[in-house]
Structure 1
Amino acid sequence: MATGGAADAAADRRLPAVARGDGLAAIMRSAREIFAERGYHAASIRDIAKGAGLSLSALYYYYAGKQELLHALLEDALADCFRSCEQALDAAGDDPVARLGAFVQATVEYRVRRPVDSLLGLREIRNLEPERLEQFVERRDALPRLLGEIIGDGVARGVFGTPYPDEAQRAILAMCNAVAQWYQPSGDLTVTDLVDRYVYLSLTLVQHLPPARKAPSHA
């Protein structure tokens, strides 16, 4: 007669599996909530499965364990952030001012839309195994490089006057990323207002130099 863990495993195998798309979404939701509430080390793979409405064996069908699940969560959030930025930049064209504004808007809106994922990326990245951590950091660092290219292009074209483009890039990205830590949608500040202010502050940091206006002609 099966006892303890063996009995649990046998019971798990008798539970019905969930459709693939629904199962994956349920696992991600449950893992996100439990990692955010308890942290990676205190999170239980059994509780994640339970929160998803799945058996352990069904969860293991999708992910080999807690480490793979954390990596999948972080990668999913990062991919969504990049998609948002790329779409905004495609619409902005090649003007550095427009591109900087589009980058800031996309990043701020993403942090507002996915605050839990944003905070997990900050707090739990240290719990990735070395190889996974290296892969994730390499992909994540493409975001500051992209912002750096926008600022560098603006400096080269003479529309940004900052003598410190690297520091401006770090300051803008840190400012946008921190939104997930403090912004409350229920507060008085709307997302549109927040974006407008952050675009203004970002243009100030890069010392945006608007085109000189021509002096009015005298009749």
Structure 2
Amino acid sequence: MSDWREFGPDTLSPPLRAALVVFARHGYHGASIRMIAEEAGLSVPGLYHHYRSKQAILAAVVDTAMAEMLEHTGAAVEDAGSHPVARFENLVECLARFHMARRDQAFVASTEMRSMDPGVRAHHIAQRDSQQAMLEEAIRAGVDSGDFACEHPEDAARAISSLCVSISSWYRPDGPLTRDDVVARHLYFARGMVGAARAGGVADPSPSPS
């Protein structure tokens, strides 16, 4: 990966991209196979040729998003080398950028867990836990190095992940904050959550929305 900060066009197939649009607009239970087929420009049998059920479509949409997120965050960790603070900050930045670049995918993944069949949900949770573990390990490394003062790394990792996930529900490209503003603000929050030494006394780095 040339740059983990960059997210180009998604790699979804036309049927999956159509399903993403319909799921984001109507929710999983409000969507029908016919609606997805029409959005994709396919017949219902044509859509079933690609995916055997609406549940299989949801699974594919979410799995594609999670795989991309894990690929980028893994590259962000590798780019940081052995420095725990850089690893932590790269992870937070990558999560923030992912949830801005893939708003619909992230929104569907976070809101439709209740709609997933048990096997699909278990796979999604395993992917999510892998991501969570990367962040928790970075926090623990920062504590061990003396860069962070955090008594509860697991809780801090969960809170930071939730903060980044929420970006997909409110961020708009034409809003008052640029992507760099959002990253700077979330890094500021995240440093405070882990007791980073340089977070103390540092002003919020991004402008308030008007």
Query: What amino acid maps onto 1:53 in structure 2?
Result: G
* Candidates 160, 170, 174, aligned match of 2:158: 170
- Give the structure 2 partner of residue 215 of structure 1: none
Instruction: After TM superposition, list the pairs within 5 Å mapping 1:10-49 onto structure 2.
Output: 25-49=13-37
Between the aligned partners of 1:106 and 1:36, the Cα distance in structure 2 is 23
Percent of matched pairs sharing the same residue? 35
TM alignment of 1:52-201, pairs within 5 A: 52-201=40-189
> Could you tell me how far apart the structure 1 residues matched to 2:58 and 2:156 are?
31
Report SS of the residue matched to 2:109.
Answer: helix
Partner of 1:206: 194
1:209, CA displacement in angstroms? 2.9
Q: How much does 1:60 deviate? A: 1.5
TM-score by length of 1: 0.81
TM-score (norm 2): 0.84
Mean Cα displacement is larger for which, 37-46 or 73-82?
Answer: 37-46
The separation in 2 between residues aligned to 1:110 and 1:135, in whole angstroms, is 20
How far apart are the structure 2 equivalents of 1:165 and 1:139? 19
Larger Rg: 1
Cα deviation, residue 179, structure 1 = 0.7
Post-superposition shift, 1:188? 2.0
- 1:55 deviation in Å? 2.0
The aligned amino acid for 1:87 is: A
After TM superposition, the runs of 4+ consecutive aligned structure 1 residues lying more than 4 A away are none
Which residue of the partner structure matches residue 213 of structure 1?
none
Aligned to 1:42, the other structure's residue is in SS state coil
RMSD: 1.4
Distance 2:185 2:26 in 1: 34
Cα separation, 2, equivalents of 1:152 and 1:144: 12
Q: Distance in 2 between matches of 1:146 and 1:36?
A: 28
| CA distance in 2: counterparts of 1:177 and 1:134, whole angstroms | 19
Corresponding position of 1:18? none
